[in-house]
Chain A
Amino acid sequence: MQTKKLMTVTMLIAIAILLQIVESMFPIPMFIPGVKLGLANIIALITLYLYTPKELILVSSMRVILVAILYSGFGITFILSMSGTIFACIAMILAKKHTKMSIFGIGIVGSNFHIIGQLTAISILYQTQAFLFSYLPILLLISIISGLCISYLANQTLQRIAFQST
């Protein structure tokens, strides 16, 4: 059982790395730079629902560090990715533990707090509060939509995994 869990977690990390790298190759043409779906969050949600918060932190942090080593380097991208992931993980774990939200709610919480974490990091790095009113509201609204898509996909995947493993 322990080995199976180890294998699954490793697989999940691999898929998450792949999703993040592939996604960064296809930027969404929008009027706001830096908007993306956050496909790697599907894996985070699946991990949270398959296992415990401990595995979620493991998968997410390993994903961020390995993507930095393999692809994007330890620059500003890494700092933004890491801060967003930390915020999102903590928010999702707390939301799952203390509220009765379904997977859709948890997904939206995750993508919202990912944005909040990234903008917090930017605000600290560049010593500015300008993003708080100009950028955050519109990004929050977009992240609600992307969170819904993400959690729908994660929900579909989880149903199929449950069907397979019985």
Chain B
Amino acid sequence: MKLNKYDFVYLSSAILVSVLLFLVGWLKLTGTTGITASIIYDQQTIQVVDLHQNQTITLHQKDYPKLLGDIEIEVKDGQIRVVEETSPHHFCSQTGFIQSSNESIICLPNYILIKIDQQDTSDVDMEVY
């Protein structure tokens, strides 16, 4: 048995639908570049960083006991990245620089989340697509 023309009709429409969904998502989810970034440790915002002030922040293990080791965070030209951390797979330092509000650096082993704050430009509380 081989694929017949009805299979191909379904196949191409399925591919079309997923490509369309992907494009719509890509258009809607492109974020804006932010002015500040929040560093969240164990679900609490511990620091809000100005992204246009180049600096290096170090979080020490003795201040935040759930960290696996000291974490070094670098802010440069409106971007932020994790330079040095201790984790099994180093996902968060491999993420590199982020600058847009739809990006985030997540380091679950260290309970660390860094996200770019969205600048509110309208009165809408939240948009749901």
Residues of A within 8 A of B (CB): 99-105, 108-109, 112, 129, 132-134, 136-138, 140-141, 144, 155
Contacts and interface: CB of A to CB of B under 8 A. Distances in A.
Given A99-B6, A108-B14, A144-B11, 11 more contacts: A100-B4, A102-B3, A104-B2, A112-B14, A132-B21, A133-B21, A133-B22, A133-B26, A133-B129, A136-B18, A137-B22
Interface SS of B by simple majority: helix
A101 B1 contact: no
A149 B104 CA distance: 35
Contacts of A101: 4, 6-7, 10
A132 to B, nearest CB: 7
Nearest to B22: A137
A109 B10 CA distance: 8
| Interface range on chain B (Cβ under 8 Å from partner) | 20 to 34
Contacts, number: 65
A102 B11 CA distance: 12
A150 B19 CA distance: 23
Contacts of A105: 3-4, 6-7, 10-11
A108 B24 CA distance: 23
B15 interface: yes
B124 interface: no
